[in-house]
Amino acid sequence: MWTITSIRPDPANYTVEITYADGETIVADFRPLLAKGGVMAALRDPAVFGSARIGARGRSVVWGDEVDFCADALRLKFGRRVA
């Protein structure tokens, strides 16, 4: 289990820079998800996207009460690939 220690949302590019407790930093690109709409549609508003915060115990990135992404899933999807 990975723990998030800091985030930096970039509403201009719909990305979030995420730093984990072990020092690895990833950049999660949310543009493909925002294009799908649904519950993600609200995040198209730059003010809403910029309101991202770290969830309980550093285990997620959260927007409001409806949208959250698991720290582990984000790291697996956007982290370094080792062959």
Residue 83 reports pLDDT greater than 60: no
In order of their start, the domains of the chain are: 4-78 (3.30.2020.10)
Residue 9 has pLDDT above 90, yes or no: yes
pLDDT at 80 (0 to 100)? 79
Q: For 26-81, what is each residue's pLDDT tens digit?
A: 999 999 999 998 989 999 999 999 999 999 999 999 999 889 999 999 999 999 76
Rounded Cα distance between 36 and 31, Å, is 9
